[in-house]
Amino acid sequence: MQIIIVGLGKVGRTLVGQLSEENHNIVVVDMDPERIRNVSTRFDVMGVLGNGTSYSVLQDADLEHTDILIAVTESDEVNLLCCVIAKRKGNCHTIARLRNPVYSEERHFLRSELQLSMTINQDLEAAREVARLLRFPSAIEIDSFSRDRIDLLRFKVPDDYKWLGHPLKEITPHVRQNILVCVADRGGEITIPNGDYVIEKGDILTIIAMPLEAERFFYDIGVKTNKVKNVMIIGGGSMAYYLIKILLKSGVDVKLIERDRKRCEELVEAFPDAMITCGDGSDQNLLREERLDSMDALVACTGIDEVNAILSKYAQGKVRKKIITKLNHIEFDEVIESLVLDSVVEPKYLTAQRILQYVRAMANSMDSNVETLYRLMNNRVEALEFLIRPKSRILGIKLADMRIKSNTLIAGIVRDDKLIIPGGQDYFKEDDSVIVVTTNLGFEDISDIIETEF
């Protein structure tokens, strides 16, 4: 694919490195000649010097033949403008990094009105990652899916699960949550289970669920989620802002230490339920006073990596369950590994990974009606996202009346940005995104899921 990357900061560079390895044609645009030179000596990419919001610069970068434009400059506005211009003049997908919380609140509007394919907020991304780490133990693997609206969770069925030996359709009425088992892995044999699937010891199941419901589901079935009940956050930056928001929503007690008085006041205004302390988080006395040793978890997310690392080391043995360290520079990953930190979160790296995931999904779905295509379980399962177009022949048919191919599952319908776990009475509407999980590889259109009649 032909890709333009605007902005060669850390995210930009990570993307260039990965994508050029994956055989995409890449043009980089930046205002700094030094950065362009560095990148174009290290990778086989074309550099264009100039402002990415200028049409003529984008033209130099061959916008006409571009499939994706990724705008990851420092400035949100530049990123947005880049994408708008690219969308207007070239027929490409656009991805913008937006950091200002104002924009990320409005991302649905931005996506639909400015026709952005994807917006990404690195602080939000990091906050989500932290929340996920706090919520689930490592025994549960999580794949984020369909532009982050859905999580796919993979876990091993516990040995003492009371429904062992029962088929799924018997269990379903007893499960209070809105979840769906998508893929079952029994000793390497992959199936897409239907109602008759019998759960056995050692099965590894992949379920689709909204994040909060998943948590309750795991609690019900007896998988220890090891959930933390209270968290101390040090440093009140934008990542902390999003994190508090997520944590409060899921009922976790939050204690935050921030040095800047004004910022503290802003946070208090936003979150009356959180406990905000104004003080130096690297002051041992303060930490003792705030009873660090009685906390379940610590999140060190000040702006300085060294402080975060030292705080995390200090907290080891004091905090009961989890320590999360935010780091901005992980170039010296061997050094970081040797520190034996509990969990490390790296916002820019995460952002780059997310964008990569999206680009890969796009590359997979080129030349077909598939919106995005993910390959799971060593490429043996495909999860496809289709957009229901007007006049589709399966519009308005109840799922119960459709003859769907075996080993194919309609895992979710995303309507107005909300996930619906479909039942027999549901049907497709125009502009729905439908997620199909299947082991029949190579679907090209939503109508391919229906059994062809003889």
Partner 1 sequence: MNNGMIRFVLSWILRLEGLLMFLPCVIALVFREEEGWVYLILAGIAVAAGVFLSKRPDNMEIYQKEGFVAVGLSWVLLSCYGAIPFVITKEIPNFLNALFEIVSGFTTTGASILSDVEVISHTSLFWRSFSHWIGGMGVLVFILMLLPMGSGGSHMNLMRAESPGPEVTKFVPRVRTTARLLYKIYLGLTIIELCLLLITRMNWFDALCITFGTAGTGGFGVLNSSCGAYTSVQQWIITVFMLAFGVNIGFYYLMLTRKASEAFKMEEVRTYLLIVVAAVALISWNVFRSYDGMGHTVRDAAFQVASIITTTGFSTTDFDLWPSFSRTILLTLMMIGACAGSTGGGIKVSRVLIMVKEIKEEIRSLLHPRSIRKMRMDGHVVQDQTMRSIMAYLVAYFVLFWVSFMIISFDGFSIETNFSAVAATLNNIGPGLDAVGPTQNYLAYGAVSKAVLIFDMLAGRLELLPIFVLLYPGTWKRH
Q: How far apart are CA 119 and CA 70, in angstroms?
A: 10
Binding of partner 1 by 41 (CB under 8 A): yes
Q: Is the Cβ of residue 2 or residue 282 nearer to partner 1 in the bound state?
A: 2
Residues in a beta bridge with 343 = 324
Contacts of 173 (CB under 8 A, 6+ apart): none
Q: Minimum distance between the CB of residue 42 and partner 1, rounded to whole angstroms?
A: 4
Only one of the segments 34-42, 161-169, 239-247, 350-358 lies at the binding site for partner 1 (rule: CB under 8 A); that segment is 34-42
List the one residue from 9, 18, 31, 43 that touches partner 1 (CB under 8 A): 43
Amino acid at 107: R
Burial 232-255 (b: 16+ CB within 10 A, else e): bbbbbbbbbbbbbbbbeeeebbbb
Tell me, what amino acid is at 90? G
Map the footprint of partner 1 across residues 329-388, applying CB under 8 A: none
Question: In the complex, what is the shortest distance from the CB of residue 56 to partner 1, in angstroms, rounded to a whole number?
Answer: 8
Q: Report how far residue 373's alpha carbon sits from residue 26's, in angstroms, rounded to the nearest whole number.
A: 22
Residue 22 engages partner 1 in binding (rule: CB under 8 A): no
Binding of residue 40 to partner 1 (CB under 8 A): yes
List the structure tokens of 136.
Answer: 């689930």
Q: Is 33 in the site for partner 1 (CB under 8 A)?
A: yes
Q: Name the one range near partner 1 by CB under 8 A: 7-15, 25-33, 108-116, 206-214.
A: 25-33
Among residues 11, 26, 411, 436, the one that binds partner 1 under rule CB under 8 A: 26
Of 6, 11, 15, 45, which one interacts with partner 1 (CB under 8 A)? 45
Q: Is 49 in the site for partner 1 (CB under 8 A)?
A: yes
The footprint of partner 1 on this chain (CB under 8 A) covers a number of residues equal to 18
The answer to whether 42 contacts partner 1 (rule: CB under 8 A) is yes
Give the shortest CB-356-to-partner 1 separation in angstroms. Answer: 17
Q: Residue 330 carries which DSSP code?
A: -
Q: Which is nearer to partner 1, 43 or 163 (CB)?
A: 43
User: Rounded to the nearest whole angstrom, what is the least distance from the CB of residue 2 to partner 1 in the complex?
Assistant: 7
Least separation in angstroms between CB 92 and partner 1: 15
Pattern 154-193, partner 1, x by CB under 8 A: ----------------------------------------
Q: Does 20 bind partner 1 (CB under 8 A)?
A: yes
State whether the Cα torsion 157-210-102-299 is positive or negative.
negative
Site membership for partner 1, residue 62 (CB under 8 A) = yes
Report the residue number, 36 or 256, with the smaller CB distance to partner 1. 36
Interface with partner 1, residue 46, by CB under 8 A: yes
* Cβ distance to partner 1 smaller for residue 24 or 154: 24
- The span from the CA of 210 to the CA of 201, in Å, is 25
- 50 or 101: whose CB is closer to partner 1? 50
Alpha-carbon distance of 164 to 162, in angstroms, equals: 6
Q: For residue 136, which amino acid is it?
A: F
Question: Which residues partner with 95 through β-bridges?
Answer: 70, 118
How does 338-365 read in b/e, with b if 16+ C-beta sit within 10 Å?
eeebbbbbbbbbbbbbbbbbbbbbbbeb
Assess contact for 52 and 78: CB atoms under 8 A: yes
Q: Are strands 381-387 and 408-415 parallel, antiparallel or unpaired?
A: unpaired
- Residues contacting residue 267 through CB under 8 Å, at least 6 positions apart: 236, 240, 241, 244, 256, 258, 274, 276
Piece of 20-28, 71-79, 297-305, 353-361 that binds partner 1 (CB under 8 A)? 20-28
CB atoms within 10 A of CB 110: 19
Q: Which is nearer to partner 1, 66 or 312 (CB)?
A: 66
Kindly state whether residue 89 participates in binding partner 1, applying the rule CB under 8 A: no
Residue 27 C-beta: closest distance to partner 1, Å: 5
Do 76 and 98 contact (CB within 8 A), yes or no? yes
Kindly list the residues in this chain that would bind partner 1 in the complex (CB under 8 A).
Answer: 2, 20-21, 25-27, 33, 37, 40-46, 49-50, 62
